Homo-oligomer: A and B are copies of this chain.
Amino acid sequence: MRAAYINETGPAENIQVGRLPDPVPRGQEVLVRVTAAAVNPIDTYVRSGLVAMDLPRPFVVGCDLAGVVETLGPEASRFQVGDRVWGSNQGLLGRQGTFAELAAVDEQWLYPTPAEVEDETAVAAALVGITAHLGLVREANLQAGETAIVSGGSGAVGSTVIQLSQALGARVLATTGSDQGKKVCQALGAVRAINYQTEDVLQRIAEVVPTGADLWWETGRNVDFDLALGALGEGGRLILMAGRDARPEFPVGPFYVKGCRLLGFAMFKAPAAAQRRAAEGLNAWLVEGKLKPAIDRLVPLEETAAMHRLQEENTLAGARTLRGKIVVRIA
């Protein structure tokens, strides 16, 4: 099979596209003929070695996939040959990645792709969708009628959180670093979008929620706790899921006197059962049109290294050149 892989962690240039032996599904694994894969920031951290993990060698990059069931391992029972499936959480914790024509994936990490949903859409929604669902439902228990603020609302996670918060019946405000980003957030349904480069964020939030918001979802790598806690009301929750090296000051008094909760999670560590519940919720919202993942571009497998560079320019260097997910077409 053709695949995008590395032999050693390092820069994007380490990614080669070439032939590797076809994987053979064992146990509960399902062999998927991959039609589409998507690039996530974590793909680049694993590839570079920034996030140290045990990796098979050669290591196929990537976490997300969509495709069609090709064959079944001897103990696989959830799917039939020919089923359309999508999944995430591969290429992590010792598992092989997804940027290949074939991937042997434990069936616990695969979900049925609804007939109404295209593979490119499913794969663009995969990791960011499960992340948003886990955070909003499992961690923060966001309720209908509550108000959520998404810090970094125009990014891949942020735009998904805006949509899923509304699907849960909540009202959403979003901050973003550009006027273009404001338009993105407003188009997704944010009742207020705020450019943190040019506007007084706390004042603009207070105009909408004078008693403070129920949830602050921080998508950025440098959370401003004074800002976030200033925007939250009594019993507010704050989600952290990025910023491995950040060491911001933490204002203890405002946090505990308001009875706030700070909730941290890494999507890839969530148990398979929790990820499956999230995926089922996402499937329903994809069918209903409540979740429409933005796709910046569709590219062939050969461009994987260039796409890792593009992702890094945006995630690490703030290039603001991406307007959605990078999706690689493989079939």
Contact = CB atoms under 8 A, between A and B. Distances in A.
A253 B262 contact: no
A57 interface: no
Given A247-B252, A255-B262, 6 more contacts: A241-B256, A252-B264, A259-B269, A260-B264, A261-B261, A261-B263
A240 B250 CA distance: 12
A207 interface: no
Contact of A255 (B240, B253, B269): B240
A: interface residue count bin: 20 to 34
Contacts of A259: 264-266, 269
Contact of A234 (B242, B258, B269): B269
Given A255-B264, A259-B264, A261-B264, A248 B245 contact: no
A51 to B, nearest CB: 9
18 contacts: A240-B256, A241-B256, A242-B252, A242-B256, A243-B252, A245-B252, A246-B252, A246-B253, A247-B249, A247-B251, A248-B250, A248-B252, A252-B264, A255-B264, A256-B264, A257-B266, A261-B261, A262-B264
A262 B262 contact: yes
A290 to B, nearest CB: 27
A225 interface: yes
A223 B252 contact: yes
Nearest to A234: B269
Contacts of A264: 252, 255-262
Nearest to A237: B261
The 9 closest A-B pairs by CB, nearest first: A256-B264, A244-B253, A262-B262, A250-B250, A246-B252, A243-B252, A255-B264, A247-B249, A240-B256
Nearest to A257: B266
A234 B268 CA distance: 13
B249 A253 contact: no
Contact of A244 (B225, B240, B252): B252
